[in-house]
Chains A and B, each alone.
Chain A
């Protein structure tokens, strides 16, 4: 055999093996890691960072009770939706349970299993009514609330208790300085503390939920009514927007890009005297923060329709594509049974009314009473159940709020948003 023939053979074999290797790695990449039959008692749980802490205690308890091992896959919040969406669209999931933000439920309803058998009457009684309603999409329960949250008022007790502040405030506004119970008071207090490089409150142009809570307080459903008609241009939405933007003058600059993280940072750094924020933030104030130990919590303020917040629950759901459904459902049930274990985690939340009530009088959990009160508020409602919600938020609501906080005319902006949302829903 000539050397040339040898070379040609080696080349051909080399080429072929490269191709086989490439094909093999292509198939293997990104596939499910531990959903095969051999690891049936291990469930992979996809969570965002706070959820990981929240469920760690539950996972340990579940292992003792049912023998199900839990392997957490943790992602930052920003990456969760995108990861879920791409895995569901590939039909090949790397997890057996996913913790889903409530706004994602309608988008993923076709990709997760019904878990109606877990929702007994007793269970339904111990979960906030708005959550029982939200977990049910198209007649089936598709997620078990794992923890829930709502915005409450956090304020600087040290500044509110300061004698000089009290006297100055009373002189200027004619009533005592205390945690606000009306939105007029909130405006006054925000204005009062905006001085010497400090601001009274924040205005979040990068997120929509807070403005939507004001809409609920003004007595209107959020954006869409029960028949999916766009009602964003009604008086309640306009009043809520006008109030929202009225606070811009008492808030740090750059409101257009202020989102949850930025607002929490501003408060923890001592730049703002009050914030409307998710209740979990109360327990998350870092020990070395200038405001640590100086913060008070008050319930969300009511409008003409009473107290209202937009709950921010997370649900545990089981994807249809998992081969490990039984163990996954065992874990979901176990997470409900031991729901209160999450309260001592760094996120410090639960979803069962009984779990919150167990802790509400303990020191360090002062935020729970305001949270329960807000969650039980008459006008508290969850976001509209439409698969287009994320798109409505990203392309219509947030840009509209950003224009509004920059000084845009509220009626014109709402009318434009209405048309945009109608086009999206076509």
Chain B
């Protein structure tokens, strides 16, 4: 029996397609479907169709809008700092050439630490009354007393404090991706630019960054989406507090679903969040990456 190439390809794809259908498409469908119902948190309880009511409730809720803005701010801070630090390190490693091998491995170390562990570690560094950072800054004469800054208890700065472990953990990822991209920039192009008298800033902004654009786009989109889902490090450090000042969208959805027993509203929030993420990803790909446009 002979089969066509087309059918052979279908057979090869079938397991993956089935997997995606069961574990991605079906849950997604359920998510959207659940968002249209008011659901009892106990199995077997009532399930009433309420149309778009959950969406209206989500947008009318201060907690949801607050969490949306906080997630945006958190993502922006985390990704911007990681990008700046990561690019700096990647350029440094490229400039060092082979001598950077050991340092590259050392720099990757935080990437291998579990987020929960990193969250706990930083919690004990920043916690009030016992935190090491406050004590060290006090001993160095920068702070008047070790508790002058309430890293995790001052609602004005807590969002930045909980971002620190995330930045510490994943700057190396950004660096790794950008470093790989830098390896693909032809050396003769840089050399030609140098011969034409280009200085370092011109080299960076007019040659290296434009050539790195697709890599930057991938790095920003992947890390951006990842950062917007921030959950574990924040949960362990502050559980969203104080005054919900570090409650991001994932934490809010989790609490709405599990703690407050409102699966319908949580599904609506999840759906809105998913659509927003898709929108951001499309926008980033279309504006930064622009696949095919430059040719």
Name A's B-contacting residues (CB within 8 A).
1-2, 4-5, 7-8, 11-12, 14-15, 18-19, 22-23, 26, 78, 81-82, 85-86, 88-92, 107-108, 110-111, 205-206, 252-258, 262, 265-266, 269, 271, 321, 387-388, 390-391, 394-395, 398-399, 402-403, 406
Q: Which of B107-115, B187-195, B254-262, B275-283 contacts A (4 or more CB under 8 A)?
A: B254-262
Cβ of A271 and Cβ of B129 under 8 Å apart? yes
- Given the complex, which residues of B lie within 8 Å of A18, measured CB to CB? 15, 18-19
Q: Which of B86-94, B145-153, B287-295 contacts A (4 or more CB under 8 A)?
A: B145-153
- Given the complex, which residues of A lie within 8 Å of B1, measured CB to CB? 1-2, 5, 8
Q: Which of B37-45, B76-84, B197-205 contacts A (4 or more CB under 8 A)?
A: B37-45
Show 17 residue pairs from A and B whose CB-CB distance is below 8 angstroms, ordered by the A residue. A8-B1, A12-B14, A18-B15, A23-B22, A89-B41, A91-B43, A110-B40, A111-B43, A252-B147, A253-B150, A253-B153, A256-B154, A394-B255, A394-B259, A394-B260, A398-B241, A402-B155
Residues 34-53 of B at the A interface (beta carbon under 8 Å): 40-45
- Given the complex, which residues of A lie within 8 Å of B242, measured CB to CB? 205-206, 256-257, 399, 402
Contacts A14-B15, A257-B153 given; indicate if A206 touches B241 (C-beta within 8 A): yes
- Given the complex, which residues of B lie within 8 Å of A7, measured CB to CB? 8
**Contact residue among B23, B150, B241, B260 (Cβ-Cβ distance under 8 Å from A391):** B260
- Given the complex, which residues of B lie within 8 Å of A91, measured CB to CB? 43-44
Residues 87-134 of B at the A interface (beta carbon under 8 Å): 127-130
- Given the complex, which residues of B lie within 8 Å of A78, measured CB to CB? 239
Cβ of A26 and Cβ of B258 under 8 Å apart? no
Which residue from chain A places its CB closest to the CB of B151 in the assembled complex? A254
Cβ of B147 and Cβ of A11 under 8 Å apart? no
Contacts A11-B8, A271-B129 given; indicate if A387 touches B261 (C-beta within 8 A): yes
Any A CB within 8 A of the CB of B140: no
Any A CB within 8 A of the CB of B171: no
Cβ of A254 and Cβ of B150 under 8 Å apart? yes
Cβ of B261 and Cβ of A107 under 8 Å apart? yes
Assembled-state Cα–Cα distance A258/B42 (Å) = 33
Which residue from chain A places its CB closest to the CB of B237 in the assembled complex? A257
Cβ of B11 and Cβ of A254 under 8 Å apart? no
Cβ of A11 and Cβ of B12 under 8 Å apart? yes
Contacts A4-B3, A85-B258, A110-B45 given; indicate if A254 touches B129 (C-beta within 8 A): yes
With an 8 Å Cβ cutoff, the count of chain B residues facing the other chain is 42
**Contact residue among B15, B150, B243, B259 (Cβ-Cβ distance under 8 Å from A81):** B259
Cβ of A254 and Cβ of B15 under 8 Å apart? no
Cβ of A2 and Cβ of B2 under 8 Å apart? yes
Assembled-state Cα–Cα distance A324/B239 (Å) = 36
Q: How would you classify the secondary structure of chain A's contact residues: helix, strand, loop or mixed?
A: helix
Cβ of A22 and Cβ of B42 under 8 Å apart? no
Cβ of A257 and Cβ of B152 under 8 Å apart? yes
Cβ of A5 and Cβ of B3 under 8 Å apart? yes
Cβ of B258 and Cβ of A82 under 8 Å apart? yes
Provide the B144-182 mask, 1 if CB < 8 A to any CB of A, else 0.
000100101111000000000000000000000000000
**Contact residue among A8, A19, A22, A92 (Cβ-Cβ distance under 8 Å from B11):** A8
Any A CB within 8 A of the CB of B135: no
Assembled-state Cα–Cα distance A389/B63 (Å) = 17
- Given the complex, which residues of B lie within 8 Å of A398, measured CB to CB? 241
Cβ of A403 and Cβ of B14 under 8 Å apart? no
Cβ of B263 and Cβ of A89 under 8 Å apart? yes
Cβ of A12 and Cβ of B11 under 8 Å apart? yes
Assembled-state Cα–Cα distance A26/B27 (Å) = 13
Cβ of A11 and Cβ of B255 under 8 Å apart? no
Assembled-state Cα–Cα distance A4/B11 (Å) = 13
**Contact residue among A5, A254, A390 (Cβ-Cβ distance under 8 Å from B259):** A390
Which residue from chain B places its CB closest to the CB of A93 in the assembled complex? B43
Distance in Å: Cβ of B28 to nearest Cβ of chain A: 16
Assembled-state Cα–Cα distance A12/B9 (Å) = 11
5 closest Cβ pairs, A-B complex: A254-B128, A91-B43, A256-B242, A254-B153, A253-B147
Assembled-state Cα–Cα distance A7/B129 (Å) = 67
Any A CB within 8 A of the CB of B244: yes
- Given the complex, which residues of A lie within 8 Å of B147, measured CB to CB? 252-254
Cβ of B43 and Cβ of A255 under 8 Å apart? no
Any A CB within 8 A of the CB of B248: no
Which residue from chain A places its CB closest to the CB of B236 in the assembled complex? A78
**Contact residue among A15, A256, A262, A266 (Cβ-Cβ distance under 8 Å from B14):** A15
Any A CB within 8 A of the CB of B238: yes
Assembled-state Cα–Cα distance A110/B154 (Å) = 40
Assembled-state Cα–Cα distance A376/B25 (Å) = 57
Contacts A22-B19, A256-B150, A257-B153 given; indicate if A85 touches B241 (C-beta within 8 A): no
Assembled-state Cα–Cα distance A399/B7 (Å) = 60
Assembled-state Cα–Cα distance A254/B157 (Å) = 13
Distance in Å: Cβ of B232 to nearest Cβ of chain A: 13
Distance in Å: Cβ of A207 to nearest Cβ of chain B: 11
Which residue from chain B places its CB closest to the CB of A23 in the assembled complex? B22
Which residue from chain A places its CB closest to the CB of B1 in the assembled complex? A5
